[in-house]
Amino acid sequence: MDKYETHPYDVIVIGAGGAGLRAAIEAKSQGASVGLICKSLLGKAHTVMAEGGIAAAMANIDPSDDWKTHCADTLRGGVYVNNWRMAQLHAQEAPERVRELEQWGALFDRTADGRILQRAFGGHKYRRLVHVGDRTGLELIRTLQERTVQLGVDVYMECTVTNLFKEDGRFAGALAYWRESGRLMIFQAKAAVIATGGSGKAYKITSNSWEYAGNGHAMVYDIGAELMDMEFVQFHPTGMVWPPGVRGLLVTESVRGDGGLLKNNKGERFMFKHIPERYKGQISDTEAEAEKWLTEIREARPITARKPPELLPRDIVARAIYNEVKEGRGSEHDGVYLDISHMPAEYVKRKLPSMYMQFKELADVDITKQAMEIGPTMHYMMGGIRVNADSQATNVPGLYAAGECAAGLHGANRLGGNSLSDLIVFGRRAGLYAAEYGKKTPEAKIPDAAVDRAEKELFAPFDRKSGPSPYEVHRELQEVMTTYVGIFRSESDLNTGIQKLQQLREKAKTISVEGNRQYNPGWHLAKDLDTMITVSEVIARGALLRKESRGGHARTDFPKMEDAFSKVNFVAVKDGDKPKVEPKPLPEWSDEIKKLMAEEKK
């Protein structure tokens, strides 16, 4: 162990997106020594890409909004398999976390009388998303980053954590390498907050950044932590479909929230055909009413009309688009049209500056005059590391998780805006409890043998003189996940997918990488493949067991929701070299939540 650069901390935070930064701020504020580690540059985490806003029931625009309605929207959007306690804490604490951001210097868009402006989004009953045009993630990261630096948190950038270690049944520390030099280092820590985001790079068409390789999920799973609900993968309805080089790039939901219409190649607003039973009564069912809503939005008047069906939750809209294309009513490049050109050009440019630039520069489309072509793109993982609702603790003492890599809040489908609020609410909680644990717990010794084994595995691709390239295996993985574990699934496809993933796991063990350790992206990818394949197999196995369709999980052979599955989460643990996935009962709703949901149904 002496041969490694070693850093001791009460708490390490792995990941410097919204969740990691907020956790680090809290842990440091509680008096713990904190090391924050991220594989990109500080300020460049995936969170920076977030566009539409942060969901928080501040009631600035719609005075009837409150935490109860936000909580009910989250549970309904998650098709009732969310952890109710997380949904409650999230809705209750989000407004305070937003106000805190403002105190730390965040500059949100404003109402005419100076309050924080809020916009409409899919699945939210009221205008709830706090935003900065369509660049909210940038402001969130900027604010949290400044606070982190101000507090004196030690930051390790361009540093990838590859393994976590356990001793005496509890977390003991981590192995990492500097991306630039390939040199190894050890973090001797008493507690860790995992905040590493999702695993979208396992799919061919995705809105996710290169960082999303399931590292955190696979590392905690490797030392006995549980993963939950991994079958729930969100396909966002609106990704770019053309030109091919930018396929999958996100087109924010704000386009629809600010008045964008979805149309097929017959000019039909097809979403009116796709309003599910549980949303009937809440959504406009005529174009006339939807038009009234649009006028009220355009003129910033109080809303009296029900929302248009374009603003149904993402899972519903994504599947509707998929079916329009499959049935021959798609656009030129196998998408559908998203049109906001009926709104004033000045309004579009002010509300959606990034979208205006994105289409102008990448697709030569002026969205103030022309419709966009869009289609579903893999966007978000509702499933993740299983945590305690209050503390974000995993089942491994000393190990905490927050943000997209954690599970529970969003159930089967996440509502737009609920991720950024998730990051600040549960990032803070994870930091708080990790600090409490880290400050009072003695150091655990990292086992030498485990470090030696990890080092050997890490450098093995350099020792092989021949073998497939990591890029080839990555392409195959993306093909398998998109074809067999995609937006629609079936038993035979999933079985084929699992078989192919197992073959890929074997193939990945033979990968050979050229060159040396210094900034070698092929070698970085070789390690990421290991974690992506692990996460992908857990997704596929969960999907096979959930014999129903719910939220982000749609089975062609079981197209309906089934009662038997409404009361369970699927939980995966490592069992030898395979995941063991089993149903576990969902925590029962408290009396308060039962009452709330009964009232909401009226």
Ligand X SMILES: Cc1cc2nc3c(=O)[nH]c(=O)nc-3n(C[C@H](O)[C@H](O)[C@H](O)COP(=O)(O)OP(=O)(O)OC[C@H]3O[C@@H](n4cnc5c(N)ncnc54)[C@H](O)[C@@H]3O)c2cc1C
What does the binding site for ligand X look like in residue numbers (CB under 6 A)? 14-20, 37-40, 45-47, 49-53, 136-137, 160-161, 195-197, 207-208, 211, 215-216, 250, 380, 403-405, 416-420, 423
Those residues with Cβ within 8 angstroms of residue 269's Cβ, 6 or more apart along the chain or in another chain: 261, 262, 263, 287, 290, 308, 309, 310
Residue with smaller CB distance to ligand X, 208 or 264 = 208
CA distance 526 to 460: 10
Q: In this structure, what token pair is assigned to residue 562? A: 């089934």
Residue with smaller CB distance to ligand X, 33 or 418 = 418
Residue with smaller CB distance to ligand X, 378 or 494 = 378
Cβ at position 430, least distance to ligand X in Å: 11
Residue by residue, DSSP assigns 175-204 as EEEETTT--EEEEEEEEEEE-----GGGSS
Q: How distant, in Å, are the alpha carbons of 25, 273, 357, 412, 416 from that of 306?
A: 40, 16, 31, 24, 18
Those residues with Cβ within 8 angstroms of residue 27's Cβ, 6 or more apart along the chain or in another chain: 10, 11, 13, 34, 193, 431, 432, 434, 435, 438
Residue by residue, DSSP assigns 247-269 as TT-B--THHHHTT-EEE-TTS--
Rounded to 5 degrees, φ, ψ at 187 are -105, 110
Cβ at position 301, least distance to ligand X in Å: 24
Residue with smaller CB distance to ligand X, 404 or 493 = 404
Cβ at position 558, least distance to ligand X in Å: 28
Residue with smaller CB distance to ligand X, 211 or 231 = 211
Cβ at position 564, least distance to ligand X in Å: 30
Cβ at position 405, least distance to ligand X in Å: 6
Cβ at position 295, least distance to ligand X in Å: 25
Q: What is the crossing angle of helices 521-545 and 215-222, to 10°?
A: 70
Mapping DSSP to helix (H, G, I), strand (E, B) and coil, where does residue 55 land?
strand
Residue with smaller CB distance to ligand X, 498 or 539 = 539
- Furthest-apart CA atoms within the chain: distance in Å: 73
Asked if residue 81 lies in contact with residue 548, where contact means CB atoms within 8 angstroms, the answer is no
Helix, strand, coil abundance in the chain, percent, nearest 5 = 40, 20, 40
CA 200 to chain centre: 9
Secondary structure element (H or E) that encloses residue 45, with its range: none
Cβ at position 129, least distance to ligand X in Å: 7
Residue with smaller CB distance to ligand X, 19 or 311 = 19
Secondary structure element (H or E) that encloses residue 431, with its range: helix 418-440
Residue nearest to ligand X (CB): 17
Cβ at position 602, least distance to ligand X in Å: 29
Residue with smaller CB distance to ligand X, 74 or 419 = 419
Those residues with Cβ within 8 angstroms of residue 585's Cβ, 6 or more apart along the chain or in another chain: 567, 568
Residue with smaller CB distance to ligand X, 174 or 498 = 174
Q: What is the crossing angle of helices 448-463 and 521-545, to 10°?
A: 110
Nearest CA-CA partner of 14 in 193, 189, 156, 155? 193
Residue with smaller CB distance to ligand X, 52 or 330 = 52
CA distance 77 to 381: 14
Q: In what order do the strands lie in the sheet with 54-55?
A: 54-55, 129-130, 118-119
SS3 readout for 136-175: HHHHHHHHHHHHHHHHCCEEECCEEEEEEEEECCEEEEEE
Give me the active site residues, please: 236, 256
Q: How many beta carbons lie within 10 A of that of residue 13, not counting itself?
A: 36
Cβ at position 471, least distance to ligand X in Å: 19
Euclidean distance between the first and the last CA atom of the chain, given in angstroms as a whole number: 63
Cβ at position 41, least distance to ligand X in Å: 9
